Amino acid sequence: MHKLLQPRTWALAPIRFYQRFISPGLPRRCKYHPTCSAYAVEAITTHGAIKGILLGTWRILRCNPYSSGGLDYVPPQGRWKADPAPTYEELVALHDQQMKHSGA
């Protein structure tokens, strides 16, 4: 199938338009990393148009004033949820463990 006829191409077009022409004129508001539009692009690229749009929409709904935000990555193919990002305490413990094993 020609690339222009693929549903994923049509699903990405409005997001790319937003990223190129609208987003640069707005203040940064997304509470997540990657941004909601970058998340949607990756979700559509990874999972296809239908599942990607659903994941992107769910992400936008979660990005609100009552959300704490943070790291939120697109789940791997075949899954609906990504592994949770490690907490600060978990990262410190992992770092300490690696330092202990490296002899530093």
Residue 2 lies in a domain: no
| Element (DSSP H or E) covering residue 70 | strand 70-71
pLDDT of residue 104: 60
**Nearest 5°: CA angle at 9, between 70 and 49?**
60
Residue 39 lies in a domain: yes
Per residue in 69-97, pLDDT tens? Answer: 888 999 999 899 888 777 778 778 888 88
- Residue with the larger pLDDT of the pair 40 and 101: 40
Per residue in 19-73, pLDDT tens? Answer: 999 999 999 888 999 999 999 999 999 999 999 999 999 999 999 999 888 889 9
89/76 Cα distance (integer angstroms): 25
Residue 77 lies in a domain: yes
Residue 89 lies in a domain: yes
5/2 Cα distance (integer angstroms): 5
pLDDT of residue 103: 66
- Domain that residue 32 falls in: 7-102
User: Mean per-residue pLDDT for 5-18?
Assistant: 93
Residue 82, C-beta contacts closer than 8 angstroms, at least 6 positions apart: 72, 73, 74, 75, 76
Residue 1 lies in a domain: no
pLDDT of residue 2: 67
Number of domains in the chain: 1
The two structure tokens encoding residue 34: 């990657």
